[in-house]
Amino acid sequence: MWGNTVAFGRTIAAGALFLSGMALAALAPTSPVGAGSNASPVSPSATPVRPLSVVEPHWAFNDPRGIASDGTHVWVANTGDNSVIALNASNGSWAYTLSNPSGGGYSGNGIVSPRAIAFGANHVWVANGLSSVSEFNASNGNLVKILQLAPFLVGEVIGTPMAITSDGTDVWAANDSNSVIELNASTGALVRVISGSNYGFDFPRAITTDGTDVWVGNCIGNSVTEFSASTGQFVRLIKGVSYKLNFPDAISWGGSYVWVGNQRGNSVTELSASTGALVRVIPHTSSNDFDSPDAIASDGTHVWVANSRGNSVTELSASSGAVASLLTGAIYGFEVPSAIAYATTGGVEHVWVANAARSVTELKASNGQFVRLIKGS
């Protein structure tokens, strides 16, 4: 099962595309940026250009695995057809589509099998299957840069970015080759590569931040790595039997806590954001119906858990961990819900759920009320 998390709107997917360093070197720009450079990565053009777009009355989602929102737009990353669809958050209508009909390489806008998406500093950041990150202007969808990871990872194993998050100042992309790339959210320049055995990265597929620290879910290691957002310095590795971390491929910070979805454990682990101490483990019950929790998001008051196998969304109280509601049934249209995000539009907070079976469900955050099911046109 491909997993997804939202960190702001974190999404991850498995089925990683592994390429050798030699193959990626052949695809790298002629003037690569070294891992120790502060220069901006190579741009497709000195002046941002309008991306290859599908501007037509008919549009559709195709295996959406990532979702993010700034309250004005909602962006949905479609793994199935190398595209990102932007919706108007106010009414769910189509705004624009960023597509890459060439379907591969670093041509066009670089979108290839997008696995995760995040918003930060008025930019949209797309983690692509071909070891790259595409950066777009959030307002109009203009392409800013295609950031190839190969020049950054000099001396490192080249991998695929599986999760991405931003605090508005920096962007962090977790790679399945057991490293994290940090970028400047304003310029796209490399800040640092975070790697090393002391971090305990082991197939990281989930990432979130509060702007002070960054937490990474390691699916094979059954652990969570915490490091400083400002320096990249290792803080702690959270693991052990009591945490019951079991393929943690969903993670979200909210208020004083960090929430981890355990895909194979059908449970949620709550951690103290300040100390990493275990607060509680919430196991599967009939009232929460945790069933392959592949995505999780919290605003500090609510916690929303997307159950990809159960076709449901569970809402928890962030203060107590108690079940507030279990959203299930045909009206919601949940079909393999794999990504989840929240944002405030017009003073009202909404939750957006990407269903891998080609739809997006919109809910009111305050009470879980169904707003609309968006399928395209």
pLDDT surpasses 50 at 316: yes
CA dihedral 35, 110, 171, 49 (to 10 degrees): 110
pLDDT surpasses 90 at 105: no
Instruction: Over range 236-260, report the average pLDDT.
Output: 98
d(CA 252, CA 95): 27
Instruction: Over range 78-84, report the average pLDDT.
Output: 94
With a CB cutoff of 8 Å and minimum separation 6, the contacts of 375 are 60, 61, 333, 358, 359
- Would you list the domain boundaries of the chain? 57-374
pLDDT band at 2 (very low <50, low <70, confident <90, very high): very low
Q: What's the whole-number average pLDDT of the chain?
A: 85
CATH 2.130.10.10, applies to 57-374: yes
d(CA 270, CA 14): 24
pLDDT surpasses 60 at 19: no
pLDDT, position 377: 81
pLDDT in tens, 113-159: 999 999 999 999 999 988 899 999 999 999 999 998 877 776 666 68
pLDDT, position 159: 82
pLDDT, position 42: 32
Least trusted range by pLDDT, from 4-8, 103-107, 229-233: 4-8
**124 or 23, greater pLDDT:** 124
Residue with tokens 């607060």: 279
Least trusted range by pLDDT, from 65-79, 105-119, 312-326, 332-346: 105-119
> For 83, what's the count of Cα atoms within 13 Å in the CB-facing half-sphere?
19
pLDDT in tens, 293-314: 999 999 999 999 999 999 999 9
pLDDT in tens, 173-225: 999 999 999 999 999 999 999 999 999 999 999 999 999 999 999 999 999 99
d(CA 26, CA 172): 25
Q: Tokens for 310?
A: 């159960």
